[in-house]
Amino acid sequence: MLTASRSARADRAAQSGRVRSAAHDGFLRHNGFKWAKIAGALSLVAFVAYLLIDVEPRPNGGSWYGYVLGTIGALLILWLTLLGVRKRAITRGRYSLKAWTSAHVYLGLSLIVIATLHAGFQIGWNVHTLAYALMMIVILSGLFGVFAYAILPRALSDNRDMMTETQMLESLRSIDRQLFDAAQPLEPRHADLVRQSLDQDPFGGGLWARLSGRYPACATRRAQAEIRRETAYQPNLGADPLERVDSLLERKEAILARVRRHLRLKALLETWLYIHVPVTFALIAALSAHIVSVFFYW
């Protein structure tokens, strides 16, 4: 009955077009920050209860409130991990992936409060704190991911300037072909500079170069600087192949700069997941060890 009336309302809304579609809301502000409110309320209740409940001799995971928070925390962790399964099945509606992601983010943040209170602010060099530390790494990397997803796509789009990745690669190949042809008449010394530029992998440089956008060993820049240095004081007669190579190298550098900004933004968007996901599994392993150890020796 309830379902029927709800779907009828949805139909009416669809016909009148009066219902605001949530499709343009991000997962952060999904449904009027519903999950932010739920997670905030959960944290607040946990915190107020922590203050009100007089656990003797002092708060820790072995008190009854500790058990409650620990159970909630462990179940939350397992549920949060399921996002990896859930995201592979995209659906709409109440339990849409967006709603799920929104809950993932905010409930994940509330875990900071729940786990800290579960621990009763006790830390040490042991498996229990290891699980806590891993959890904090996962949450902080996730927080970075949230900020990356909120901020970087715009920068990525601005930098791309309507170019697709295929087009970027094609423009690189095109400039390389032109450079190759233009460099044919050059003497070996100059030809070698150009060849190094051509032979260098524009996607190389390693992770640090990706994340920082710094490529100190860029052969294109070096080639351009060398040739520019030699041609600077020569009159430009318009027929010198070196001048042509020079301008091509300059164009290649501009394309490379754009590609590298693109790579950097994409790396920032992706790298956190390389921490978030494996450490999540480490966390689940440490959590298992934590739970087993507590009941093994207790």
Tell which positions 130-169 bind another protein, by CB under 8 A: 130, 165-166, 169
* In the complex, least distance from residue 193 CB atom to another protein, rounded to whole angstroms: 9
- Should residue 69 be labelled a site residue for another protein when binding is judged by CB under 8 A? no
- Should residue 52 be labelled a site residue for another protein when binding is judged by CB under 8 A? no
- Should residue 97 be labelled a site residue for another protein when binding is judged by CB under 8 A? no
C-beta closer to another protein: residue 117 or 279:
279
C-beta closer to another protein: residue 147 or 281:
281
CB 80 within 8 A of CB 142: no
Q: Pick out residues in 231-260 that bind another protein (CB under 8 A).
A: none
d(CA 195, CA 219): 9
- Should residue 112 be labelled a site residue for another protein when binding is judged by CB under 8 A? no
Q: Pick out residues in 167-196 that bind another protein (CB under 8 A).
A: 169, 172-173, 176-177, 179-181, 183-188, 191-192, 194-195
Per-residue mark of binding to another protein, 209-228 (x: CB under 8 A): -x------------------
- Should residue 111 be labelled a site residue for another protein when binding is judged by CB under 8 A? no
- Should residue 293 be labelled a site residue for another protein when binding is judged by CB under 8 A? yes
C-beta closer to another protein: residue 56 or 161:
56
d(CA 10, CA 22): 13
Q: Give the one residue of 17, 93, 206, 216 binding another protein; rule: CB under 8 A.
A: 206
Residue 163's contacts (CB-CB under 8 Å, 6 or more residues apart) are 171, 258
d(CA 105, CA 35): 8
Give the count of residues interacting with another protein (CB under 8 A): 74
Contacts 24+ apart (CB under 8 A), 8-16: none
- Should residue 57 be labelled a site residue for another protein when binding is judged by CB under 8 A? yes
C-beta closer to another protein: residue 22 or 169:
169
At residue 260's C-alpha, the angle toward residues 248 and 205, to 5°, is 100
What is the biggest distance separating any 2 CA atoms in the chain, rounded to whole angstroms?
A: 91
Tokens 């530390």 correspond to: 133
- Should residue 114 be labelled a site residue for another protein when binding is judged by CB under 8 A? no
Helix (H, G, I), strand (E, B) or coil at 64: helix
Tokens 């754009």 correspond to: 258
d(CA 49, CA 5): 39
C-beta closer to another protein: residue 4 or 54:
54
d(CA 269, CA 130): 27
Q: Pick out residues in 8-37 that bind another protein (CB under 8 A).
A: none
- Should residue 60 be labelled a site residue for another protein when binding is judged by CB under 8 A? yes
C-beta closer to another protein: residue 99 or 138:
138
Q: Give the one residue of 35, 50, 65, 106 binding another protein; rule: CB under 8 A.
A: 65
DSSP string, 1-55: -HHHHHHHHHHHHHHHT-SPPGGGS-SSSTTTTHHHHHHHHHHHHHHHHHHHS--
